[in-house]
Amino acid sequence: MFGKKRVAIVGAGLTLFRRRLKETGKELSYEAAKMALDAAGMELRDMKSVVMGTAPDAFDGVHMKGEYLADGAGAYHKPYTRVFVGGGTGVFTPLAGWWHVASGQFDTCLVVAEEKMSSCYPHPQYAFTTIFDPILERPLGMNLIWIFALEMHRYMHKHNIKKEQIALVSVKNKRNALDHPCAQLAANITVEDVLSSEIMAWPVQRLDVSPTSDGAAALVLASEDVAKEVTDNPVWIDGVGWCIDSTLWTNRDLYYPDYVECAARMAYKMAGIKNPPKEIDVAEPYDPFDYKELHHMEGLLLCKKGEAPKLTAEGVTQRDGDLPINPSGGLLGVGNPIAAAGLMKVCEIFWQLRGEAGKRQIPGDPRTGLAQAWGDLMQYGSVIVLRR
Amino acid sequence: MSEVAIVGVGCVGFRPILPELSYKELMFEAAVKAYEDAGINPRKDVDVFITCAEDYLEGFSIFDEFVPDQLGAVLRHLFTVSGDGLLGLATAYMLIKTGQFDTVVLEAHSKASDILTFMDIVAFALDPILNRPLGGHPYYVAGMEMNRYLHDTCTTMEQCAQVAVKNKKNALENPYAAYGANITLDQVLCSDTWFYPLKKLEISTPADGCVVMVLASENVAEKLTDKSIWVKGVGWCTETPNLETRDWSKTVYTRLAAEMAYKKARIHSPWKELDFAEVNDLFAYKELQHMEALKLCEYGEAGKLTEEGLTARNGELPVNPSGGLLGMGYGLEASGMQKLLEVVLQLRGEAGRRQIPDAEVGLAHAWRGIPTATGITAVLSNVK
Amino acid sequence: MSEKIKHYSGEALKSADIEEGRVPTEKCRPKAKFAWSAGMAMSRFLEELKNGKIIATTCNKCKRIMVPPRIYCENCFKPTDGWTYVKDIGTINTYSVSYLAADATRLKEPIIVAIIDLDGASESMGIIHKLGEIDPKEVKFGMKVKAVWKPPEERVGAITDIKYFKPIKEEKP
């Protein structure tokens, strides 16, 4: 077998996450990309390829929006590709950047993720009505929240989990976000606040859910040679994984995300990780809903099935716990501009491993971290393992 | 680093309409053919699946959701490239070059007949603030481009029309083509002017179809088949999305994509070294423009070469022996795969009555259509 | 370098900024219309719904009876082998009580949605539908429910030919 080429992250950039930003999608892409380039001490002309991650065109309201965003993302006159795996896109985008460099075809890759959900007016929920099957599902007047409510309820039923246990995730993440300068929904709330918030689709309540947002994030990737030239402090992409499950989500037992486990195993194998809870120092699993953090911890093999609520209650997943989960504040706290939110998680792990996370910095000199996103009809997992 | 080979192809269509099959069933049938051709079991033998699709051409917000089952990719490693099938080829090529993956499946399709408002969707790709509010049929962009190209190069309308005559005629020999026809130059020139100077018969008509291919690393390819077609080089480039700042005459996106592919494939003199080329011809004049950007000839010379018959199937450098998009039908994001399919069949010697004798090196080229300036070029050979 | 960065880009707007015209906007409603070919499997499924029946397909290799039907088995990756009817009775796999309509507006009366694993199909072969004739508080996991069909003359060959599923009493031993 051919030797694996190592790929490093050498710079990261992020915009504010807000319900509605004045900047266009192109402008947001530019701001994040420019910040990442500045952080790496590099120029656009140093970027040999560009990858864009952005979720449904229906948000921005432009067909082929990857093409539309190209100049904002720095792709003018460059090899440029948009990848798209629903909510999994944000973490998938740096995987695409990884193969641009790991293939030996390019020394550098600029990775940009953008979402301008507010352009879908009056509410981005409209865009979600067309994610469903037109024959079996759309005629029922499906709402996006339904399918997550069905999954959450199944998960609770299978493991006998109480809403109080799940609400702890929302409390933790929104509090963590108080230290994040880009956060949209940082707050000090209590379990009671979550349980008394408006019921959307039982068991999902208002404070179980991340918001809709505008925002962008970016990374600069480099080959080993280039990385060593531009920084003393590269963070390496050591494992990549992705997996999709069947379209027919009503034919699956929703209590466990098999596809996340499959994606994680792919990434762990590449990174040589045998015992994830011991070897992973910090993780950013996808948390658009509070129960998803728990669901994904289990799928990522960070704990046993049904055990995540217990670890959360014991404080293991706090920033100063044994396994800090979503120290950024996650989607629940920082916000959820879909693809940008996934890439924000990778930025967070990058900053944590470099010891640059400021007030959010977890103790203990972390060396290995993981970010994961989830998408499509509760069927997609994308995983990245980073090492210092 | 491993070489990359195409070891299996499957195609259903292209037809003006395939009403009996859903898009899923269409993909399934093409996939079965490709897996059979490669001699693989998709449930065990494939490392990565790639689908190339755009949401608004499917009528879904996240089309990725509806792909895995019919490709045999359930609980496997699949993703979507929002782009032309040839960009998927570039992606598959890189994946195999990482040394981490041996077998990659690539899919792209068109179910254009499911779309009731195709031109409104094309218009929805225009800049929402600067261009879209002006209204009108979005193909006026092609009319503007053709006009500027004719003005700059002294290419004639007859020369453009000749492309349509040639391609539709070539398509008569292609079982995968939807719109083969024996038409005359006069018929093209006398057809309605739709976007001056662009004529009705110079515009490709959408068609339904699906192409699936199996790619493999050197080691796996040599175990599977002795008719591997090798990907010698791929290049791709986005010039700019802005209508206001692009080059209207020289398709810079294609020139840069070609330079990248030629560099990898060590092609120095394309006209001599290529045995044939499958070039994007969504509009007849685009074939000429793209030939020049691909350095098959000098800038402004393609029209003359076409008129002289040098790009006919029995010419010195056959261009679009498949019939191109004008003859096969416009396969939307599969349009690059239509080109790639013809290149593979020609290089395998399986192109039937279209066969170009002793073809060894071929080129496939794609452009993403109005209003983009994104192009992809691939050089392939039956010699490793 | 998160801690070294003092400024993050982004200028937040409020809904009122748009509603009251304080920022320029460009509005456009896409004309995106589709008519999907239902295909071999779904065409038959919809025809059968019109007859008040639910049809599935079978795979002889993995021995599954699959609903909704498909012409290929995604597990074995081969064509399916036959058609068979399943019952319009099933078991609640999971459910939700939704206060939201499709466009995220609030409903006065919540609707109950559920995944219903149909009797006669293989394990966990569910479809999504609504529940009716039951108080949301009474719904239980594992509850048996039966389809309530529209009258034959009102059926059009759509999933909504079933109005909803309603609970049935378990047969006494």
Q: Residue A172 falls within a domain, yes or no? A: no
Q: Is residue B213 part of a domain?
A: yes
**Touching check for B359 and chain A: CB below 8 Å?**
no
Mutate to test the interface with C, among B17, B25, B208 (most CBs of C within 10 A): B25
Q: For residue range C117-164, what is the model confidence (pLDDT) as tens digits?
A: 999 999 989 999 999 999 999 999 999 999 999 999 999 999 999 999
> What distance in Å separates residue C169's CA from the closest CA in chain B?
37
Furthest-apart CA atoms within chain B: distance in Å: 57
With CA atoms as reference, the chain B residue closest to A270 would be B100
Q: Assess A84–B contact: CB distance below 8 Å, yes or no.
A: yes
Alpha-carbon distance B50 to nearest alpha carbon in chain C (angstroms): 17
* Chain C CA closest to residue B67: C74
The fraction of chain C above a pLDDT of 70, given in percent, is 96
Interface check A155 vs B, CB under 8 A: no
Per-window interface: B 266-325 vs A, CB < 8 A: none
CA distances B189 to B15, B198, B199, B202, B203, Å, are 25, 9, 7, 9, 12
Beta pairing class for A80-84 and A204-205? unpaired
Residue B251, by phi and psi: left (phi above 0), alpha (psi -120 to 50) or beta?
Answer: left
Q: What is the pLDDT of residue B208?
A: 98
Return the closest-CA partner of residue A55 out of C13, B55, B92. Answer: B55
Q: Give residue-wise pLDDT tens across range A80-97.
A: 999 999 999 999 999 999
d(CA B304, CA B288): 10
Q: Does some domain include residue A235? A: yes
According to the model, what pLDDT value does residue C124 have?
87
Given a contact cutoff of 8 angstroms between Cβ atoms, the answer to whether B38 and B225 are in contact is: yes
C168 contacts chain A (CB < 8 A): no
Q: Which domain holds residue A103?
A: 7-122+211-387
pLDDT tens per residue, chain B (384 residues)?
799 999 999 999 999 999 999 999 999 999 999 999 999 999 999 999 999 999 999 999 999 999 999 999 999 999 999 999 999 999 999 999 999 999 999 999 999 999 999 999 999 999 999 999 999 999 999 999 999 999 999 999 999 999 999 999 999 999 999 999 999 999 999 999 999 999 999 999 999 999 999 999 999 999 999 999 999 999 999 999 999 999 999 999 999 999 999 999 999 999 999 999 999 999 999 999 999 999 999 999 999 999 999 999 999 999 999 999 999 999 999 999 999 999 999 999 999 999 999 999 999 999 999 999 999 999 999 999
CB pairs under 8 A between B and C: 80
C74, B21: Cβ pair inside 8 Å?
no
Q: Which of B82, B93, B238 sits opposite A84 (nearest CB)?
A: B82
- Which candidate from B24, B25, B129 shows the least CB-CB separation from C26? B129
C28 touches B at CB < 8 Å? yes
**Integer Cα distance of A242 and A338 in angstroms:** 17
* Alpha-carbon separation of residue A344 from A39, A183, A259 (angstroms): 15, 11, 22
In this prediction, residue B369 carries a pLDDT of: 97
Q: Is residue B49 part of a domain?
A: yes
Window 27-46 of C: residues touching A by CB (8 A cutoff) are: 27-28, 30, 34, 36, 38, 42, 46
Q: Is residue A83 part of a domain?
A: yes
B120 contacts C26? CB cut-off 8 A: no
In a domain, A166, yes or no: no
Rg (CA), chain B: 19
Cβ pair B98:A70 closer than 8 A: no
Task: Report in angstroms the alpha-carbon separations of B309 from B149, B154, B287, B306.
Answer: 21, 18, 14, 5
Of B60, B83, B97, the CB nearest to A81: B83
Q: Which residue, among A139, A227, A218, A138, has the nearest Cα to A182 in the 3D structure?
A: A218
Give the Cα-Cα-Cα angle B207, B63, A138 (nearest 5 degrees): 100
Nearest residue in A to B63, CA atom: A131
- B236 and A80 Cβ atoms separated by less than 8 Å: yes
**E-assigned strands of B321-383?**
361-367, 374-381
Q: How confident is the model at residue C28 (pLDDT cuts 50, 70, 90)?
A: confident
Under an 8 A CB cutoff, do A76 and B122 touch?
Answer: no
Total number of domains constituting chain A: 1
pLDDT at A385: 98
> Would you call C118 helix, strand, or coil by DSSP?
strand
Using pLDDT thresholds of 50, 70 and 90, give the confidence band for residue A2: very low
Residue C171 is predicted with a pLDDT of: 56
Q: Identify whether A31 is part of a domain.
A: yes
> How far, CA to CA in Å, does B216 sit from each of B98, B109, B223?
12, 21, 10
Contact between B240 and B246 under an 8 Å Cβ cutoff? The reply is: yes
Could you tell me if residue B27 is inside a domain? yes
Whether B50 is in a domain gets the answer yes
Q: Which residue of B has its CA nearest to C72?
A: B70
Instruction: Flag whether residue B121 sits within 8 Å of chain A, measured between CB atoms.
Output: yes
**Structural domain containing residue B25:** 4-117+206-224
Per DSSP, what are the bridge partners of residue B110?
Answer: B209
| pLDDT at C101 exceeding the cut of 90 | no
Contact residues, B window 26-65, toward A, CB-based 8 Å cutoff? 54-56, 59-62, 64-65
Contact B213, B103 (CB under 8 A): no
Which pTM value belongs to this model?
0.96
Contact between chains at C75 and B43 (C-beta distance less than 8 A)? yes
Closest to B62 (Cβ–Cβ): which among A245, A258, A376? Answer: A376
Residue with the larger pLDDT of the pair A283 and C26: A283
- Assess if residue A268 is contained within a domain: yes
Closest Cα in chain A to B128: A62
C64-88 pLDDT tens trace: 999 999 999 999 999 999 999 999 9
A partners (3+ CB pairs within 8 A) are B, C
Distance CA A344, CA A89 (A): 12
Q: What is the token pair recorded at A151?
A: 């999954």
Q: Is C29 on the interface with B (CB under 8 A)?
A: no
Alpha helices in chain A (DSSP H): 25-40, 57-60, 65-69, 89-102, 125-128, 144-159, 163-176, 191-195, 224-230, 258-271, 276-279, 290-299, 308-313, 330-334, 338-354
**Listed residue (B240, B216, B295, B232) closest to B264, CA to CA:** B232
CB contact under 8 A, C77 and B43: yes
> Into how many domains does chain B fold?
1
Burial of A272 (0-12, 13-18, 19+ CB in 10 A): exposed
pLDDT the model gives residue C3: 65
What gap in Å lies between CA A107 and CA A109, rounded to an integer?
7
A108 contacts A224 by C-beta, under 8 angstroms: no
Is B374 within a domain?
no
Q: In angstroms, what CA-CA distances link B147 with B126, B151, B163, B196, B246? A: 20, 6, 16, 8, 15
Is B243 in contact with B365 (CB distance < 8 Å)?
Answer: no
Whether A1 shows a pLDDT value over 90: the answer reads no
Partner-chain contact A63 B82, CB within 8 Å: no
C-alpha C97/C-alpha C108 separation (Å) is 12
**pLDDT of the residue at C2:** 63
> Is A287 inside a domain boundary?
yes
Tens digits of residue pLDDT in A52-84: 999 999 999 999 999 999 999 999 999 999 999
In a domain, B308, yes or no: no
Structure tokens at A90: 């944000």
Name the minimum distance, in Å, from the CA of C163 to any CA of chain A.
Answer: 10
Residue B95 inside a domain? The answer is: yes
Mean pLDDT score of chain C: 92
How many other C-beta atoms can be found within 10 angstroms of the C-beta atom of residue A230? 18
Residue B63 lies in a domain: yes
CB-based contact B140:B147 (threshold 8 Å): no
Mean pLDDT along residues C39-63: 96
Check which CATH number belongs to the domain holding B54 and give it: 3.40.47.10
Position A159 in a domain: no
Name the residue among B68, B257, B368 with its Cβ closest to that of A246. Answer: B68
